[in-house]
Amino acid sequence: MKAPPLRLGVNIDHVATVRNARGGPHPDPIRAAHLAVLAGADGITAHLREDRRHIRDQDMERLKRQLFVPLNFEMAATSEMIALATALRPHASCLVPEKREERTTEGGLDIIGGHAHLRPAIQELKAAGIRVSLFVEPETEVMDAARDLGAPVVELHTGTYCEAVAAGDQAHVEHELERLRRAAAHGGGIGLEIHAGHGLALDSVRPVAAIPQIVELNIGHFLIGEAIFLGLDEAVRAMRSAMDEGRAQTE
Ligand code: PXP
């Protein structure tokens, strides 16, 4: 099977984290989005959290107005966010669980245990012409549940895999990669579009990029961190090359 092209979505949340540390307009996350696109990003992701700790409403409006690439509006499935997304009409909305105390999105949506509120949210977003993706754990039953909910896309949570890479635990790395491969193959087989993300870095991205059903990776924290050392342009280009190297390994 020849793998389809693999898109890179750059998440710019943490440019806003640095901006907000001082209360002024610098550094501007929208300027970072433009630079990322020039460096090869296929899309931009921004997570408007309930507490607005990084991205703010005005950032989403500016991104929507200024970008010529797809905007992925990451959000919790709350009535406030659904109203904002349906008014803004981004290309896509990625629904994530959100806990106020967490540092980042810690796990995938629990769509097997508690999906009652998600069905109408997905319908409402789809009716507004927005492509809905669900951020989920890489399990085959979760793929079935996402399809049953009417979501066209899932984003597989790669956080546990990336933690295993960072810990240098090879057996755990293999186990987690196998979960990702199995979930991607099953999800692709039942007609879902498969994305992946969370925690990906240069030393972890290649095996994920090699999974042929995955067509988009969303990457933020590592790239914004590397931008301190390399500049954002070079950081995005290095990630793009690593993704291409990984993709070339696809059987
Ligand atoms: N995908 C989703 C759904 C996320 O919540 C995040 C983190 O905001 C990412 C991808 C990107 O993760 P990271 O910033 O660790 O690259």
- Cβ of residue 11 lying under 6 Å from some atom of ligand 1: yes
CA-CA distance, 163 to 180, in Å (whole number)? 14
- Cβ of residue 74 lying under 6 Å from some atom of ligand 1: yes
pLDDT tens, residue order, the chain (251 aa):
678 999 999 999 999 999 999 999 999 999 999 999 999 999 999 999 999 999 999 999 999 999 999 999 999 999 999 999 999 999 999 999 877 556 666 667 877 766 778 999 999 999 999 999 999 999 999 999 999 999 999 999 999 999 999 999 999 999 999 999 999 999 999 999 999 999 999 999 999 999 999 999 999 999 999 999 999 999 999 999 999 999 999 86
Confirm whether 54 is domain-assigned. Answer: yes
Confirm whether 2 is domain-assigned. Answer: no
| 157: annotated active-site residue | no
Whether a cis peptide bond, with omega within 30° of 0, leads into 27 is yes
Cα 220 to chain centroid distance, Å, stands at 8
Confirm whether 100 is domain-assigned. Answer: yes
Confirm whether 72 is domain-assigned. Answer: yes
Confirm whether 113 is domain-assigned. Answer: yes
> In whole angstroms, how far apart are CA 195 and each of 6, 51, 202, 217?
9, 26, 17, 6
Exposure letters 142-154 (e unless 16+ CB within 10 A, then b): bbbbbbebebbbb
* 220 annotated as ligand-binding: yes
Q: How many domains does the chain have?
A: 1
Confirm whether 79 is domain-assigned. Answer: yes
Nearest to 124, CA basis, from 92, 82, 95:
82
| 198: annotated active-site residue | yes
CB 95 within 8 A of CB 118: yes
| 117: annotated active-site residue | no
Compute the distance from residue 112 Cα to the ligand 1 centre, in Å. 21
Length of the chain (residues)? 251
- Which three-class secondary structure state does DSSP give residue 229? helix
- Cβ of residue 199 lying under 6 Å from some atom of ligand 1: yes
Compute the distance from residue 216 Cα to the ligand 1 centre, in Å. 12
CATH number for the domain that contains residue 73: 3.20.20.70
pTM: predicted TM-score of the whole model, two decimal places: 0.96
Confirm whether 1 is domain-assigned. Answer: no
